[in-house]
Amino acid sequence: MLKRAVEERFGFVRIRGELSGVKRAASGHLYCSLKDDKAVIDAVMWRGSTGRLAFKPEDGLEVIATGKLTTYPGRSKYQIVVESMEIAGEGALLALLEKTRARLAAEGLFAPERKRPLPFLPRTIGVVTSPTGAVIRDILHRLADRFPSHVLVWPVLVQGQGAAEQVAAAVNGFSQFEPDGPVPRPDVVIVARGGGSIEDLWAFNEEVVVRAIAECSIPVISAVGHETDTTLADFAADLRAPTPTAAAELAVPVREELANQLAELALRKRRAVIRPLSLGRERLEARAQRLPKPEALLSPFAQQLDDLGERLRRALRDRAGIERDRLQNIAKGLSLPLLRNRLERARDRLEAQRLFPVLIERRIAEGRERVGVLWRMAEQLSPKEVLKRGYAIVRGDDGRPVMTAGAAREQSALEIEFSDGRIRTGPRQTRSSRKESPPTPEQGKLL
């Protein structure tokens, strides 16, 4: 009777209060308390209703709960069965957003050094968004206009219960693609959603989405909401785009601009190749014009050559005439009677120069006497004669004569030459070794 009285009287109520003691049971039901500065009331939210929540209930969050009052006989309490729950005002949402942002920033998820550059020309682009909204059509249309690319769409919910988990799963799924797998791995991922209220965009403020974007191994572009909308996904992404259409523009360049740029570079390349040739040709022509004509260079030498040739002909002709006159003068003195006269006089001088044998024999005797004297002197000065008088010649091991005793001590062996032959001594001996050794007794005979 008490339960019916309470439910009939308070069948629809709205309560604003601060969440306290929030816990979710294994069954999916949510249990908590709503309190303000004067009172507190227990609250329960069944699993079917918790699936429609756009945010994650936490302790300290101020909400407006809508439902009905009922009693719980097991504890003699009355409580509110919440059918819907929303955050009490945008200010509370922003406070929760700032609290989450500060906590994740302290972990370094938004650090600038974590940002990665986007590929200049991605071959494959992954898009995480709703497959039925206008966002995906705008992205595909913009990509087709700028640079047609291969697009992989991972369909997800973009608001409501389970949206955050689906977005995080999609980002992680793209990150786990193999580079050489059956499905091409995206070079860049676009997380996109259209505009809306802060409650509509709340899924992209969830921690699970922020961590998935920060840990993604592929560069991520965040394109959530309009230009004035900001979510935590924008801080975690490698690049924030003001709109989904702008995300498509940031992902790929304009193909026509690239073609024009390549054509311009090709033209500059041809000009760079042709320009030096043109300049060289112009310089060569200018220098060739300043060079004198070959005829002007050779004409003085040609004239000089003609002059020298003419002088040479005249000199040869004059020289030939002079020599001809000289030859004629010489020929006049070569008459036959004159030659016979000269021959007779030469014969007379030859007969006057006869050789007498007495003169030759006297010259030979004088020469023989001088040779005999020189031979006797050579025999007296010969070392052989000195050796016959008792002297000797000492030579070292190199065959050279040894003149002093000191030089003899330095020789390893000596050769002494006498008048009747040579002997060779052994290695040099010290004074102690030159002492005579005692005679060795004669060995007896064995037999």
What CATH number corresponds to the domain at position 78?
A: 2.40.50.140
Task: Tell me: do 197 and 125 sit in the same domain.
Answer: yes
Task: Tell me: do 80 and 171 sit in the same domain.
Answer: no
Task: Tell me: do 116 and 228 sit in the same domain.
Answer: yes
Report the CATH number that the domain containing residue 147 is assigned in CATH: 3.40.50.10550
- Is 327 inside a domain boundary? no
CB contact set of 104 (below 8 Å; sequence gap of 6+): 110, 207, 210, 211, 232, 235, 236
Check residue 328 and give its pLDDT. 82
- Is 379 inside a domain boundary? no
Task: Tell me: do 166 and 185 sit in the same domain.
Answer: yes
Check residue 355 and give its pLDDT. 59
Check residue 376 and give its pLDDT. 82
| Alpha-carbon distances of 443 from 76, 337, 446, rounded to whole Å | 146, 112, 9
One digit per residue, the tens of pLDDT, for the chain of length 447 reads 888 888 888 888 999 888 888 998 888 899 999 998 889 999 999 988 887 887 788 887 888 899 999 888 888 888 999 998 887 765 666 777 788 888 888 998 899 999 999 999 999 999 999 998 889 999 999 999 999 889 999 999 998 878 899 999 999 999 999 888 889 999 999 999 988 877 788 889 889 999 999 999 999 999 998 888 888 999 999 999 999 999 999 999 988 888 898 999 999 998 898 888 888 888 888 888 888 777 777 878 888 888 888 899 889 989 898 988 888 887 776 677 777 888 888 888 877 766 566 767 888 888 888 888 888 888 777 777 777 777 788 888 888 888 888 888 888 888 888 878 888 886 544 444 444 444 444 444 433
Q: Of 7, 26, 161, which is closest to residue 84 (Cα–Cα)? A: 161
Task: Tell me: do 226 and 113 sit in the same domain.
Answer: yes
- Is 446 inside a domain boundary? no
- Is 280 inside a domain boundary? yes
Task: Tell me: do 11 and 52 sit in the same domain.
Answer: yes
- Is 69 inside a domain boundary? yes
CA distance 186 to 342: 129
Task: Tell me: do 81 and 35 sit in the same domain.
Answer: yes
Check residue 413 and give its pLDDT. 86
Check: CB of residue 68 under 8 Å from CB of residue 7. Answer: yes
Task: Tell me: do 249 and 264 sit in the same domain.
Answer: no
> Residue 374 CA to chain centroid, in angstroms?
93
Number of domains forming the structure of the chain: 4
Task: Tell me: do 143 and 215 sit in the same domain.
Answer: yes
Check residue 82 and give its pLDDT. 93
Residue 12: helix, strand or coil by DSSP? coil
pTM above 0.75, yes or no: no
Task: Tell me: do 117 and 6 sit in the same domain.
Answer: no
- Is 358 inside a domain boundary? no
- Is 350 inside a domain boundary? no
- Is 316 inside a domain boundary? no
**What domain range is 389 assigned to?**
384-424
CA distance 142 to 124: 15
Check residue 6 and give its pLDDT. 84
Task: Tell me: do 238 and 117 sit in the same domain.
Answer: yes
Task: Tell me: do 114 and 239 sit in the same domain.
Answer: yes
Q: Of 61, 117, 104, which is closest to residue 86 (Cα–Cα)? A: 61
